[in-house]
Amino acid sequence: MGDEANEEDLALMAAVAKGDENAFAKLVEKHQRSVLGTVAKMTNQSPDTEDIAQQVFIRLWKSSKRYQPTAKFTTFLFTITRNLVFNATRKKTRRKEHSFDEQEDEWHQTIEDQNTRSRPDRSIEQNELREVIDRAIASLPEKQRLAVVLRRYEKMPYEEIAGVLELSVSAVKSQLFRARAALRESLEPYLKD
């Protein structure tokens, strides 16, 4: 299925290169949730999330004539996403606008429990744990955070993450290993209970 989806994306991108707005709309519709979700997770649900996601697709349109399918289309798309997110993050850091309160609102990881509805106290515990996990993930360095987001939420294979981050597969695995170790350390007090 992955190869078929990639072939469809490549055909759409070839049509976009010829100015086909319908093909572009199909690409946007197909990938906007993934791009928007990734941007939201990487920017701590910043008010700029939608603007950055929109810029991803503007860049995609502008680069369509130069696009060469040397990797999967999604690798190209998420490389654009990475560049824009990292630039926005760096600008925000330089302006020192990054607050701890913004971090609390990001990284919504679903923790399902069938007893949640019958035990309100369990729901409160899960919400608190989710917030702790969200803060721990948000505190990771940007490459580690993006590797976690792409692997966990976008289900990308290591090879594609390597293309997006412009790293080797072993470097991606190393980034993920370090991210997991940092998360384990941050969450250790909560894992003991």
Within this chain, do residues 25 and 49 fall inside the same structural domain, yes or no? yes
Cα 189 to its chain centre, rounded Å, is 27
Q: What is the largest CA-CA distance in the chain?
A: 59
64-85 confidence digits (pLDDT tens):
999 998 889 999 999 999 999 9
Least confident interval from 125-134, 150-159, 167-176: 125-134
Cα 2 to its chain centre, rounded Å, is 19
**Looking at 106, 141, 166, which one is the last position of a domain?**
106
Q: How far apart are CA 76 and CA 79, in angstroms?
A: 5
Domain residues for 97?
1-106
112 lies in some domain: no
pLDDT category at 153 given cuts 50, 70, 90 is confident
Closest CA to 172 of 155, 151, 190: 151
pLDDT category at 1 given cuts 50, 70, 90 is low
Count of structural domains within the chain: 2
pLDDT of residue 113: 39
Amino acid (1-letter code) at residue 35: V
Q: How far apart are CA 77 and CA 57, in angstroms?
A: 8
CATH of the domain at 131: 1.10.10.10
Coil vs helix vs strand at 159: helix
When the pLDDT of each residue in the chain is averaged and rounded to a whole number, the result is: 83
126-142 confidence digits (pLDDT tens):
778 777 877 888 889 99
pLDDT category at 182 given cuts 50, 70, 90 is very high
pTM, full prediction: 0.73
